[in-house]
């Protein structure tokens, strides 16, 4: 089941670089594990912003909630979430 | 080059069904041609809305403009458009 | 899986009463069937408005989309949709 | 008498964990007492957010105000409140 | 129990004067009956607008909903509704 | 001359309790003096919020400005202000 | 007593030119009478818009309401109204 | 050439009184010099707010920018700026 | 003196094609005359929208107002207007 | 390929002047290099604001993103970005 998520990251300007780097490294590892599991189906950077558009494929709303709350950057994000479903005209298997 | 487009369709309530069906049939043909050409890379319906989220892969802003203006439903749409680029953590070839 | 939906109804002021009554009668029958099936779990009128708050329990985003599109009043509604999940402190079975 | 309340929680990022845990434990106890009394009729987490949707059944506006002001997390919340009433088509006793 | 209601009236510009006058006369009679019953406790015009601020004293949300739906101008209004309760510093009996 | 004022209070979370109590005590005294003088004609708490709706009866815009600026809580408030006038259908002397 | 009013005019596109001209002529006469009486103290066009900024000097909110309702263009306007008072640093008599 | 400017002042609550008084004294002197030069043509306080409405008469956009940037309170202001021009119905020389 | 203008065009869907073509032809001629006079300094289409961003170089606010009101498409446009001035770091003569 | 970017700068009020000056000097050098390369095609100050309107001519969305992220003031900016393309009526080579 697909969800469209926009994540906007706001790191405090006075966070020490070492701490920021550590959080980002954890975030990347967490993210790539979910990519390999085909759960975090897509991610794109919004040009010029510290924001991304992501597509998730999860079992349930609960699974999405747990996944998002586990993000190392979660305390520094605002999130917009929309459920998606297959478009009737699509010819791609990938978009369902 | 990737763009994120949200399309919201507002057909007039008094449009004759035959006319609406003809526009939608043209739209579907136009759309599937662009899918086969790998230009309209993704499309999803937003759950519960007459709106979709689409990802386009085009040569230029001009190409995107011409493509969107050619949509049979274009006169009945509002559009939100954002340029995207590859996310540095992505492991998928597909997301660039 | 639970979803929170706000429906705002806008019937055209010039719709003949007989037509409005027929749509509302179909809507009520459609609605009560879904209540009996435990799919439309809750509905409340927002005081003073021609709007309601509904809680749906469905299999998937697709199921919610199909259900909403089937509403006789759907062409006259705007809809706000949010996925929900169980609150960790809840003691009610009913809220999961 | 029913009210629909959305609560958004914003704990300061520099609140010590022990203090946050103590507030949350008090909140949970306060909440479960009100659940057992059938006053806090429903609560759901909004997927991906530190926000909930709650339905209260209270005697009066004053009773709702006193209850909300007593929440241990109240100083860290923003609240949206809407009065509700029974939907004429509902077949559930629970929704009045 | 008190409620604060803002009513904004939008009569269609092409409504015949006779019809508008008849609706307004019915509205005035309906309103003054509720004033005499101490239910419509206050009403003020917002300077320069076809809008008013009203204070209602009703038994329940349901009573408020029924009262508002019965307004002859209801189909031509938008409404903003807020529950109120006594302010702890007030010395007036009238404000509870 | 009547004005409708919404006051939203935002005390800093780190204000010492003694200081907050002192400001609130001054506010209450200031307020009750104005009530007795029939200048602060009404006040209601908005249910669930640290906000009130007030009706003032003053000589002029200048008098309202001076009165509001004198509020001990003024530095911690945002204010929405609307001029009001008598509603033509009102039967109450009190509402002019 | 001074008020700041922004008026935005929206004449229906299908209003016959003769009717529009007649309304505008009445508006101009009404306006210039109020200018000569020093009630409509200032008026400026907002560059590029069919909107103006006006300053009124009136006895009361009621006087402002009656004046605005009497505008021949009133049914085709939206209005934003703010009470003003003298700025303590002003050296002009004209600005009180 | 006329411009309509709304200035909203937000002094930090922890600014020492002496510093605030010094800035305000400089602001007043700066302002009155511009009044005498007929550049700052009007200023009014918005009732109940720490905001003003000002009308400037300047040679060019550049002149307005330089003037505003020179305000001692500029770092503590937000500004809304609209170009104005003479209203065709105005009979006052002063409003051009 | 430079101004930044965004123009959004909304032609009625039921305007006959011949009438729309005639307006557009007049608009183009009007526009190209102003380009040759170096008054309409730049124009770009916003990708995917029936909107443009334009830069005007005019003598005064009044000159801009007259120019915009003369646009054949003016009755079908909404306009956002901002005064601009030279950026202190710019090395281009063209941007002043 | 052209993009329209609005940059709003928010330097913290407590940033030491020397640090602010150093960042601004780096920004100016970075900016003028891009001007000379014809990448940063235009820049204008928005009158009265610490904001600018810029036009960029870049190879791709990715190039724009990298350029913007490299701005010394980037951590202190909010950015609004819109893709542009040639307007069909333009006679200037410069606007494509």
Q: Is E6 helix (H, G, I), strand (E, B) or coil?
A: strand
Give which of F94, F51, D56, F58 is closest to E55, Cα–Cα.
F94
Confidence of residue A90 (pLDDT cuts 50, 70, 90): confident
CA distance E80 to D83: 11
Could you give the CA distance from residue B44 to residue A88 in angstroms, rounded to a whole number?
9
Which residues in chain B are closer than 8 Å to J82, comparing Cβ atoms?
81
- Mean pLDDT of all residues in chain D? 93
Specify the pLDDT at position F95: 67
How far apart CA G32 and CA G94 sit, in angstroms, is: 19
**Percent of chain B clearing pLDDT 70 (strictly above):** 96
G18: distance to nearest CA of chain I, Å? Answer: 17
pLDDT over 70 percentage in chain C: 96
Q: Is position D8 within any domain?
A: yes
| Confidence at J8, pLDDT banded by 50, 70, 90 | very high
Confidence of residue H15 (pLDDT cuts 50, 70, 90): very high
Contact D56, D7 (CB under 8 A): no
Compute how many other C-beta atoms are within 10 angstroms of the C-beta atom of residue H87. Answer: 19
Q: What's the rounded mean pLDDT across residues E30-53?
A: 95
The number of C-beta contacts closer than 8 angstroms across E and F is: 87
Lookup result for tokens 């002149």: H63
| Confidence at I96, pLDDT banded by 50, 70, 90 | low
Counted residue by residue, chain G has a size of: 96
Q: What is the mean pLDDT of residues B77-84?
A: 98
Let me know if residue E91 belongs to a domain. no
Which of chain I's residues have a Cβ under 8 Å away from the Cβ of B61? Answer: 47
Using alpha carbons only, how large is chain H's radius of gyration in Å? Answer: 15
Mutate to test the interface with B, among J67, J80, J83, J86 (most CBs of B within 10 A): J83
- Which site among B2, B42, B81 would you substitute to test the A interface, given the most A Cβ atoms closer than 10 Å to its Cβ? B42
Cα distance between residue A23 and residue E66, in whole Å: 55
Spans of chain F below 50 pLDDT: none
What is the overall mean pLDDT for chain J? 93
Q: Quote the minimal CA–CA distance from E7 to chain F in Å.
A: 13
Strands (E), B1-96: 2-9, 40-46, 51-57, 77-86
pLDDT at D17 over 80: yes
Touching check for H20 and chain J: CB below 8 Å?
no
- Residues of F whose CB is below 8 A from E4: 44, 46, 53
Name the residue in chain A with its Cα closest to that of D46. A65
Model pLDDT, residue G88: 84
- What pLDDT band is residue C96 in, cutting at 50, 70 and 90? low
Structure tokens at D92: 């559930």
Residues of H in contact with I3 (CB under 8 A): 61, 83
Distance CA A2, CA A60 (A): 9
Q: How many domains does chain G have?
A: 1
Residue F90 carries which DSSP code? -
Eight-state DSSP code of residue A94: G
Beta partners for residue H8, in sequence order: H51, H78
* A33 domain-assigned: yes
Mutation choice for A interface testing from B37, B81, B89 by most A CBs within 10 A: B89
Distance between C29 CA and the closest CA of chain A, angstroms:
26
Looking at CA atoms only, how far is residue A84 from chain C in angstroms?
Answer: 7
Query: Rounded to an integer, what distance in angstroms lies between the CA atom of residue J84 and that of residue F72?
Result: 52
Closest-CA residue of I relative to H84 is: I61
What's the CA gap between F9 and D12, in Å, rounded? 19
Task: Kindly state whether J75 is in contact with chain A, defined as any CB-CB distance less than 8 angstroms.
Answer: yes
**Closest CA of chain G from F10, distance in Å:** 24
Query: Taking CA atoms, what residue in D is nearest to C33?
Result: D91
| Full DSSP string of A27-87 | HHHHHHHHHHTTSEEEEEEETTSSEEEEEEE-S-HHHHHHHHHT-TTGGGEEEEEEEEEE-
Chains A and I touch (3+ CB pairs under 8 A): no
Residue B91: pLDDT over 90: no
Residues of G in contact with I5 (CB under 8 A): 48
Q: Which residue of E has its CA nearest to C48?
A: E65
Question: What is the gyration radius of the CA atoms in chain B, in angstroms?
Answer: 15
Report phi then psi at A67, rounded to 5: -60, -45
Is I23's pLDDT higher than 70? yes
Interval B40-57 mean pLDDT: 96
Q: For residue G18, is it within any domain?
A: yes
Cβ contact B55:B3 at 8 Å:
yes
Identify the bridge partners of residue J6 per DSSP, sorted by sequence position. Answer: J53, J80
Q: How many C-beta atoms lie closer than 10 Å to residue G1's C-beta?
A: 22
For residues H25 and H72, the answer to whether their CB atoms sit within 8 Å is no
DSSP D93: G
The residue of chain I nearest to residue H85, with distances taken between CA atoms, is I62
Q: Is I92 within the bounds of a domain?
A: no
Burial of residue J17 (number of CB atoms within 10 Å: 0-12, 13-18, 19+): exposed
D52: domain CATH number? 3.30.70.1060
Instruction: State mean pLDDT over E41-67.
Output: 97
> Is residue J84 less than 8 Å (CB to CB) from chain I?
yes
Shortest CA distance from D76: residue in chain F = F13
| φ/ψ of residue C76, rounded to 5 | -115, 15
| pLDDT score of H78 more than 70 | yes
Residue A10 has pLDDT above 70, yes or no: yes
Burial of residue I50, with CB atoms counted within 10 A of its CB: 0-12 exposed, 13-18 middle, 19 or more buried: middle
pLDDT in tens, C13-63: 889 999 999 999 999 999 999 999 999 999 999 999 999 999 999 999 999
pLDDT of residue H89: 79
* CB-based contact D47 C88, cutoff 8 Å: no
Cβ-defined contact of B61 to I49 (cutoff 8 Å): no
In this predicted model, what pLDDT tens digit does every residue of J44-76 receive, in sequence order? 999 999 999 999 999 999 999 999 999 999 999
Cβ-based neighbour number of residue F93 at 10 Å: 7
Give the pLDDT of residue B1.
94
Confidence of residue J89 (pLDDT cuts 50, 70, 90): confident
Residue I57 pLDDT exceeds 90: yes
What pLDDT sits at residue B88?
84
In a domain, C7, yes or no: yes
Evaluate if residue B36 carries a pLDDT over 90: yes
Residue I89 lies in a domain: no
Q: Containing domain of residue G35, as a range?
A: 2-84
- At residue C7, does pLDDT exceed 80? yes
CA distance linking residue J19 with residue J21, whole number of Å = 5
Q: What is the ipTM of this complex?
A: 0.91
pLDDT at position I93 over 70: no
Residue I86 pairs with which residues in a beta bridge?
A: J44
Q: Which residues of B touch J83 (CB under 8 A)?
A: 3, 61, 64, 81, 83
DSSP sequence for H36-80: HTTSEEEEEEETTSSEEEEEEE-S-HHHHHHHHHT-TTGGGEEEE
Question: Which of these, B46, B30, B51, B42, lies nearest to B3 by C-alpha position?
Answer: B42
Interface of F with E in 32-61 (CB under 8 A): 32, 35-36, 42-48, 52-53, 55
Assess if residue G74 is contained within a domain. Answer: yes
**pLDDT > 90 in chain G, percent:** 86
Which among E46, E53, E7 is positioned nearest to G65, based on CA atoms?
E46
- Give the residue with greater pLDDT, E67 vs G94: E67
Is the pLDDT at E52 greater than 70? The verdict is yes
Q: Which of F9-13, H12-16, I50-54, I91-95 has the lowest mean pLDDT?
A: I91-95
Q: Is the pLDDT of residue J92 over 70?
A: yes
E-only strand ranges, D1-96:
2-9, 40-46, 51-57, 77-86
The rounded percent of chain A whose pLDDT value lies above 70 is 96
pLDDT in the model for residue H94? 65
Task: State the Cα–Cα distance between residues D8 and A18, nearest whole angstrom.
Answer: 31
Calculate the average pLDDT of chain E. 93
The C-alpha of J90 sits at a distance from chain I's nearest C-alpha, in angstroms, of 7
What's the whole-model pTM score? 0.95
G69 interfacial to chain F (CB closer than 8 Å): no
Read off the pLDDT of residues H33-61 as tens digits, 9 standing for 90 and up: 999 999 999 999 999 999 999 999 999 99
Contact H91 G44 (CB under 8 A): no
Q: Do chains B and E touch (3 or more CB pairs under 8 A)?
A: no
């Amino acid at each position: 089941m697909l969800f469209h998520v926009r994540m906007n990251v706001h790191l405090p300007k006075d966070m020490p670089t070492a701490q920021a780097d550590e959080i980002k490294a954890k975030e990347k590892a967490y993210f790539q594990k979910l990519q390999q599991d085909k759960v975090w189906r897509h991610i794109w950077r919004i040009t010029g912003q510290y924001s991304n558009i992501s597509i998730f494929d999860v079992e349930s709303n609960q699974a999405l909630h747990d996944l998002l709350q586990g993000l190392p950057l979660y305390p520094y994000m605002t999130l917009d979430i929309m459920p998606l479903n297959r478009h009737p005209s699509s010819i791609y298997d990938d978009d369902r």
